[in-house]
Structures are given as C-alpha cells and as structure tokens.
Amino acid sequence: MPQYPNRQFLDFEQPIKTLYEEIEKLKHTAEKSKIDMTDSISKLEDAIITKRKEITEHLTPWQRVQLSRHPDRPYTSKYIHKIFSNFIELHGDRNVKDDKAMVGGFAQLNDETVMVIGQQKGINTKTRQQRNFGMANPEGYRKALRLMKLAEKFNKPVICLIDTPGAYPGLEAEERGQGEAIARNIYEMIRLKVPIVIVIIGEGASGGALGIGVGDKTLMMENTWYTVISPESCSSILWRSWDKKEIAAEQLRLTATDMKGFGLVDEIVPEPIGGAHWDYDEAATILKQHIATALQEIKPLRAEQRITNRIEKYGKMGFWNEVPITENNHQ
C-alpha cells in the first residue's frame, strides 16, 4: 500500500484522498484508545484499490492527459534507475552546451548494453526550471542524435523514453535551428542501423516527441497521450479559446487506445491500478518486460531489413481518397 504523506491528488482522485484521510483518522484513534482497528483499516485499503480501479476505468481523454502530467508520475530518470543497471549518463552535444531537458547514456538491460535516451522533467520548482519542464532545445536533440550515433557505432540498441510537452519555443532555440535539429533526428533515426524501441511514458507532444520518436517498435503506456499538438494549444488555435481543451483532447483521439487502434503505435503498456504514480516498482517491472520483449522481436532482423520496415511502416500512415486518374497535361 503506497504511503499517504506528500501524495498529490488530481480533482478526480479526491475520493481516494478522502479514504486515505479516513485511514489516518482510524490509525490515530487506534493509537489513542489502544483498540485494534486493523480490520477496518484493511477494508479501507481495499476500498482505495477499488476506487483507483473505478476511476481509471472511466477516464475521459482529458483526464488521461492530466494523469500523464500527474506531479507524482515517474519520469525518465526514475525508470532508468528502476529498469536498467550500470547507467552512465553522458552529456553534451559537442557544439553548444548540455541540455538538461534531455538525458541519456549507456546502461544495461538484463545484462545487455543499450543506449537509453529521454526527456527529463524536474520534480520541484528548482529542478523543473533546470530541466526546462522537459522541453528540449536544439542541443538536446543533437545530444540525443550524438548518443544514437555512438550506439550505432558500437552496435547497441537504442531505447527512447518520451515525456515532453513539446520542443522549447524560444528565441535561442530558433537561432540554433530547432526545426532542423528535429528534422535531422527524424531522418537519421529512420536510417539508424541498430534496433530502436520507443516508449511514450508521459506526454508525447508533436515534433518535440517525434524528434526522439522514430523506431522499430513504439510502445505507449496506458495513461499517456501522443499527438500533433497539446489539447490546450489546439483549443486556442481551432476553437480560439483556451477553455475547450477537454473537447480538443476528445477530438484529437490522443489516448493509447486510439493510437493503437489507428496502428500508429504498436503496443499499450499497462500501468499499476490507478496509474504509474501509485507504484513505481510495479510500473517499471511491467515496462521492463515490454521493452525486453520488443527488443527481442526486432533484434534478429538484419539492419537493412529493419530500415526498410521502418520506411514502409511510416509510409503506410495516413488516410486519403483516391479517385480515378484523369490525364492532366497543362499546356
């Protein structure tokens, strides 16, 4: 049973908070009056689990977005430390600086060396600023590419963990070519000779996500979102108001179930009941298993085959009508 202190609750998680508070009260009374209340407490603990289940069963797309941004949700570094061993972080793009919003380095997954890369968010005000809220600058994407090329050189698979509200829209970012950096990464990832497994572990916002998001297998955790624009920005542009984010989230079809249904991601990774923030260990154990399985599936293929498969896979994405051809010579 996860501990109560310092836990944060979203609006729709409030019933769980109430249950926790009841437990606290009971514990307090038990201590005071020396009455055994273990039974009532364990009943309430069961009720918490049931509530967690209930809540996640009926989530709206917008609530999923909220869960993906849950302040207690595990971020990239948490997963790296729980899933991999012997992680050595590598820094810098060898050009401008070290982007703290993007982390990466060699690590071992079940005794096999891999390169793991991902956006990193902060856990308090200070680190959030340091990590720029998980919004990478061009040097972050270039660092990621440098590490991927390093992995390619030594024939190690690449694992990317995506959690970003988008690439940073800043002045320096534009000066240093944010568009070019993302474009280059997408292009190079398509051609990378080693296996690539992508996991959306939180927010998967647009080009900022795809900049480290092209691979052989794309996994999406249950309570995450992945699409072309954040629901808030979409609302502000298409509805001309910031208040339609719930509708935008619905219309964008950004949940893992939708994305799997469209064939745009390969697999959904289940999370502990109520979301990954309820149990880091369990979330990491499930994810580890899925990454390992995905890797085993793509590793036996020849490098050229993987690249061809990638081009074909992305080539099939899209929908259109094709009407009969009419010769159209313009003279």
Partner 1 sequence: MKKEREEDLDQNLTGEETANPAGEIKPKWYSRIRQGITTSTADKKETPEGLWSKCPQCNFICTTSELRENLFVCSKCNYHHRIGSEEYFEIIFDNNTYTELFDNIQSKDFLNFTDLKNYQKRLDEIHSKTDLKDSMRVAVGKINGEEMVIACMDFEFIGGSLGSVMGEKFSRAVDYCIEHKLPYLVISKSGGARMMESAFSLMQLAKTSGKLSQLSDAQLPYISLLTDPTFGGISASFGMLGDLNIAEPGALIGFAGPRVIKETIKKDLPEGFQRSEFLLEHGFLDFIVDRKQLKEKLHKLIVLFKG
Residues that bind partner 1 (CB under 8 A): 167-171, 173-180, 182-184, 186-187, 190-191, 206-207, 210-211, 214, 226-229, 234, 236-240, 248, 251-254, 259, 262, 264, 310-311, 314-315, 317-326, 328-331
Q: Shortest gap between Cβ of 223 and partner 1 (angstroms)?
A: 17
Please report the sign of the dihedral spanned by the C-alpha atoms of residue 149, residue 197, residue 120, residue 281: negative
Nearer Cβ to partner 1, position 51 or 206? 206
Q: Shortest gap between Cβ of 87 and partner 1 (angstroms)?
A: 28
The number of beta carbons lying within 10 Å of the beta carbon of residue 324 is 4
CA distance 219 to 205: 15
Q: Shortest gap between Cβ of 318 and partner 1 (angstroms)?
A: 3
Nearer Cβ to partner 1, position 19 or 167? 167
Nearer Cβ to partner 1, position 154 or 262? 262
Q: State whether residue 111 is helix, strand or coil.
A: coil
Write the single-letter amino acid at 121. K
Do 150 and 185 touch, CB atoms closer than 8 A?
A: no
Q: What is the DSSP string of 247-295?
A: HHHHHHT-BHHHHHHTTSSSEEEP-STT-GGG-HHHHHHHHHHHHHHHH
Q: Shortest gap between Cβ of 240 and partner 1 (angstroms)?
A: 8
Cα distances (angstroms) measured from residue 48 to each of 7, 45, 71, 270: 14, 5, 19, 19
Structure-token match 């179930």, residue found: 257
Q: Shortest gap between Cβ of 291 and partner 1 (angstroms)?
A: 20
Q: Shortest gap between Cβ of 236 and partner 1 (angstroms)?
A: 8
Nearer Cβ to partner 1, position 182 or 221? 182
Q: State whether residue 112 is helix, strand or coil.
A: strand
Tokens of 298: 């793509």
CA distance 262 to 265: 8
Q: Shortest gap between Cβ of 237 and partner 1 (angstroms)?
A: 5
CA distance 102 to 90: 10
Tokens of 191: 């051609």
Nearer Cβ to partner 1, position 39 or 322? 322
Nearer Cβ to partner 1, position 38 or 331? 331
Nearer Cβ to partner 1, position 44 or 229? 229
Q: Shortest gap between Cβ of 31 and partner 1 (angstroms)?
A: 51
Tokens of 130: 């340091």
What are the residues whose beta carbons fall under 8 Å from the beta carbon of 188, sequence distance 6 or more?
145, 148, 149
